[in-house]
Amino acid sequence: MTKSPVSVEGGGLVPPFEDINLFSSDAALQEALTREGGGHAQKSLVAFGLVCGSADVMERARTAEDYPPRLRIFDAQGRRIDRVEHHPAYHELLEMSCGERLQCEVWAEGGDTAPAQGRQVARAAGLYLASQVNVGHCLPLCMTHAAAPTIAMQPELAPWLSKLVSHGYDARAAALVDKRAVLIGVSNQEKNAGADRSATVTRAEPAGEPDGRRYILNGHKWFLSAPMSDAFLMLAQAPGGLSCFLVPRFRDDGEANGIHLQRLKDTLGVRASACAEVELIESDGWLIGEEGEGETVLSETQMQLRLDLSVVSAGAMRRALAQAIHHAENRVVSGKLLIEHPLMSQVLADLALDVEAALALALRLARSFDRAEDSRAAAWRRLMTPVTKYWVCKIAPAILAETIECVGGNAYVEELPLARIYRDVVALSLWEGTGNELALEVLHILQREPEAAEIVMEELGKAVGDDAYLEAAHARIAAILCEPRRLDLRARSLVEGLAVLAAGTILRAHTPAAVSDGFIATRMGSVTRQTYGQELDWADTAAILRRASPTR
């Protein structure tokens, strides 16, 4: 007689993490949004959080990852088309987030009645939610948003700016005149250049037209993210030196613009969004600024991208933490819920402290972008952009690895999103500045703009109050700054110290004592820690987890 298989349905299985409002379930995000000046957007973010947390949207994110983009260089008759095909789910995600205007809201004139100075914070909160759905689809949004200030520098490019700030998403491969809305990419890395932009070999020669703005580009780009964007900001060597150009995919007459896709990168993460190698053959490009000013022209785009990468990394960490807490709240081990086991609750609470600190730093940075006309906000923006990007992106892989352990073997399987997010956050740490590049940039800021560091240290000094841990951390950073000859070797210590101190002061001023006490004592105390889940035996971990839980 054949035995019936034993059913595993029912007891002990964790329900899917879906149909959860990602905004309304996140107390830390709601509070940070209000205190940093974006409270006007709360109603729209409640609606967007509901969409982002829906089972339907989460399934689209999984599908977009399961069916990565494909390269089609030629059509059936052998004509060159240089096209990347994405699964419809990827386009649906972009349509969702472009519908929320994450690619353009900050720059849209008359697009909202919100106070202008709160737009960066409000948009950052929306991007934080979108990144919890799928990191890959956020990258075209980030590049388009970041490209706007650079494009706006050149009056002749006003038609591009007009389509950039248009509402919605238009995936058609067409010339600007036929598009309802556009996405913009940013591509500057070359085979032999990397972070050294001066080694760029792509050439740009004037086309000889009366206005002198159109150039002909020949060369290559080694990493072209989102190659189906409508135009790209690129650096090339003009007769007067390294210069910045806007290079469309199509010329005004609808013909392709000599951007030849060579292959798609087989990347570790962000696989839903393509990354290509390209050759530029007689490509039209429009000069932005003047010859020789390329890196200066692109500097604002770089700043905006670093803010966005910090926000996206923070959002990815939040999604992983929420998934892990959800698992622990529903998984029974040895007769009780996993979250009721003291060691597990300590690990999760410890993770929650860094996740909230990352969010606090990112939205505090967004506020400084909103208020950049103020000298003190501008100083924070200048110094703390590389500092925030360094720390938030650096801690993300460790947090993802720990959340995978919290969930166990199922998290190592692709059906859950944690494996995907783990791969994705590594890319965010590389993009727009590795750890060493960011640390060295902070040193350059100290040399060229010492007043920025003075203002930031003064701000932090006022914020430490009578907290002994914060006072000691501030003193350690001041001591490092007093030894300029050793700064090269202590650059990472300086940058990490600034990030942790800034996060600690924000948490001390604005979060419950369980959160601020736990973060400050463990991140600035005398005990050296290498992994999560230590030195919190005295803390109110239950209070920390109630705040971080997506379902309580």
Q: What angle do CA 381, 383, 388 make, to 5 degrees?
A: 80
Distance CA 65, CA 19 (A): 20
Q: What is the pLDDT of residue 485?
A: 87
Please report, for the chain, the start and end positions of each structural domain, with discontinuous segments joined by +.
27-139, 165-295, 297-548
Residue appearing with tokens 């392709």: 256
Q: What is the pLDDT of residue 9?
A: 56
Distance CA 382, CA 449 (A): 9
Query: Over 70: is that where the pLDDT of 6 sits?
Result: no
Residue 106 · residue 119 · CB < 8 Å: yes
What CATH architecture is 297-548? Up-down Bundle (1.20)
Q: Give Dmax (Cα) for the chain.
A: 91
Q: What is the pLDDT of residue 10?
A: 52
Q: What is the pLDDT of residue 114?
A: 45
44-71 mean pLDDT: 98
Query: Over 50: is that where the pLDDT of 110 sits?
Result: no
pLDDT classification of 111: cutoffs 50, 70, 90: very low
Mean pLDDT lowest among 191-195, 367-371, 518-522: 191-195
Distance CA 519, CA 497 (A): 14
Query: Over 60: is that where the pLDDT of 1 sits?
Result: no
Burial of 481 (0-12, 13-18, 19+ CB in 10 A): middle
Query: Over 90: is that where the pLDDT of 394 sits?
Result: yes
As a whole number of Å, the end-to-end CA separation of the chain is 48
Q: Chain-wide mean pLDDT for the chain?
A: 94
Query: Over 90: is that where the pLDDT of 245 sits?
Result: yes
CATH annotation of 165-295: 2.40.110.20
* Residue 9 CA: distances (Å) to CA of 2, 3, 328, 333: 21, 17, 18, 17
pLDDT in tens, 459-503: 999 999 999 999 999 999 999 999 988 899 999 999 999 999 999
Q: What is the pLDDT of residue 528?
A: 81
Q: What is the CA radius of gyration of the chain?
A: 24
Mean pLDDT lowest among 144-148, 313-317, 412-416, 505-509: 412-416
Q: What is the pLDDT of residue 383?
A: 98
Percent of the chain with pLDDT over 90: 90
84-113 mean pLDDT: 88
Q: Which helix (H) or strand (E) holds 236?
A: strand 231-238
Query: Over 80: is that where the pLDDT of 186 sits?
Result: yes
Residue 102 · residue 109 · CB < 8 Å: no
Q: What is the pLDDT of residue 108?
A: 80
pLDDT classification of 88: cutoffs 50, 70, 90: very high
Query: Over 80: is that where the pLDDT of 116 sits?
Result: no
Q: Which helix (H) or strand (E) holds 427?
A: helix 418-430
Residue 89, both tokens: 């789910």
42-55 mean pLDDT: 98
pLDDT classification of 167: cutoffs 50, 70, 90: confident
Question: DSSP label at 256?
Answer: B
Query: Over 80: is that where the pLDDT of 115 sits?
Result: no
Angle subtended by helix axes 119-133 and 88-99, to nearest 10: 160
Q: What is the pLDDT of residue 359?
A: 99
Q: Does 297-548 match 165-295 at the fold level? A: no
Residue 46, both tokens: 């409640």
227-237 mean pLDDT: 98
